[in-house]
Amino acid sequence: METVGITKPRFTGLAPPDGRPTLSCFAIGYLVMDNTSRSAHPLYEDVLALLTAAGFVSLGIFLFHQVGLLTGGTAGLALLLQQVTGISFGLLFFAMNLPFYALAWLRMGPRFTLNTFAAVATVSFMTDHLNAVLQIGKIEPVYAALIGGTLIGMGLLIMFRHKASLGGFNILALFIQDRWGVRAGKLQMGLDCAIVVASFFVVSPWLLALSVVAAIICNLVLTLNHKPGRYQIA
């Protein structure tokens, strides 16, 4: 019997940048499929998926904020600045991502950029308004790290499957790598480490250690479930 060959989609991109591990689960890359006409999701699927993903991520960030945990990337920087300035996370996170959209348009294309813009805006809005629908009297930091890291990882996983991300330093790292040859993984690690160092002046060593644990859990969720070539996207 003759076997009909199926051309496997070719993936490009990174996960994480240049294959090196980074501290932040927000730094994990995305997958771009070349045969987009065959694999692209309909608009309504993208909308539903990004809303679901934003719900997961915003709840994870909400748990982090409740106990003072941090993460890397622009989300971690926004959480850090929120503790220092008192400005809402949503406003800080949305504003800090604005400069990166032009780079994303050039590096990843219009669909990825528009999806990422929608994802960042939705996460910013949901995180700032969760207090109106959810009140937590007490939560242990260990639980917040475990569940928060898992929720954020699941949310990012859905976003990557629908060609979106939470933007930020990952886009900048890719652009600098393309332009000047600086390894994206090293640059991303340097930026995340700078956030961690700054966090020493704001959070306790225990919470900082739990923040690292949460980032590892988030990365594990993505690493175990987001491997190029393993799945076909209908």
Give 65-117 pLDDT, tens digit per residue: 999 998 888 988 999 999 889 999 999 999 999 988 988 898 888 988 999 99
Is 212 buried (19+), middle (13-18) or exposed (0-12) by CB count in 10 A? middle
List pLDDT tens digits, range 139-197: 999 999 999 999 998 998 898 888 888 888 878 887 787 788 887 767 877 887 788 78
For residue 31, pLDDT over 60 is answered with: no
Q: Which of residues 221 and 182 earns the better pLDDT score?
A: 221
pLDDT at 4: 44
Residue entry with tokens 């739990």: 210
70 within 8 A of 158, measured Cβ to Cβ: no
In DSSP notation, the chain reads -PPPP-PPPPEEE-SSGGG---S-GGG---EEES-HHHHPPPHHHHHHHHHHHHHHHHHHHHHHHHHT---SHHHHHHHHHHHHH---HHHHHHHHHTTHHHHHHHHH-HHHHHHHHHHHHHHHHHHHHGGGT---S---HHHHHHHHHHHHHHHHHHHHHTT----THHHHHHHHHHHH---HHHHHHHHHHHHHHHHTTTS-HHHHHHHHHHHHHHHHHHHHH--TTT----
What is the residue-averaged pLDDT of the chain? 80
Q: How far is the C-alpha of 185 from the C-alpha of 23, rounded, in Å?
A: 10
Query: Given this model, what pLDDT does residue 72 score?
Result: 81
Confidence band (pLDDT; 50, 70, 90) for 43?
Answer: confident
pLDDT of residue 23: 54
